[in-house]
Amino acid sequence: MRSKMRITLRKDVNPDIDYYYLQQFEIYHEPYLIWDRETWEAILSTCDVYRIEINEKSVGDLILERRARATVYIVDFSLLPEYQGKGIGKAVLEKVMDMGKKLVAVTRKETLGFFLKSGFVLRKKLKDYYDPGVDGYYIVIES
């Protein structure tokens, strides 16, 4: 299926808070993963925001923050459920790796395997990072 798809990262220079706020409810099913409008407003105003598009249809987002010269932090990386497991995330990560020498993220147990298969290395487990009993995993990949 991937060979028929044109995967694009389109920089969203004027991100619509409502679009991203509402899209998260289609993607995340655990309340602790849902950000409020104020959080979205802060993130969208301070980070680089990209829409993940397949054949010009928006299917997810990628939000990046550059803190150090060659380090890129993945703040949010999400795909609508019907586009998960089709190689899209891996293709997006390949594009992101060209943006910095070092990529850093915190992910949860459910998505850790995807990142590890994509070349990330687990550096630290962050106890109760998302919610009590829901740990985060600090991961890094260097090119």
- Cα separation, 18 vs 4, whole angstroms: 31
Tens of each residue's pLDDT in the chain, 143 residues: 445 889 999 999 999 999 999 999 999 989 999 999 999 999 999 999 999 999 999 999 999 998 777 889 999 999 999 999 999 999 999 888 887 788 999 999 999 999 999 999 999 999 999 999 999 999 999 87
| Domains of the chain with CATH codes | 2-142 (3.40.630.30)
Of 58, 109, 63, residue with least CA distance to 82: 58
Q: How far is CA 1 from the centre of its chain?
A: 22
The pLDDT of residue 88 is: 95
For the chain, report the end-to-end CA distance as a whole number of angstroms. Answer: 28
pLDDT at 3 (0 to 100): 54
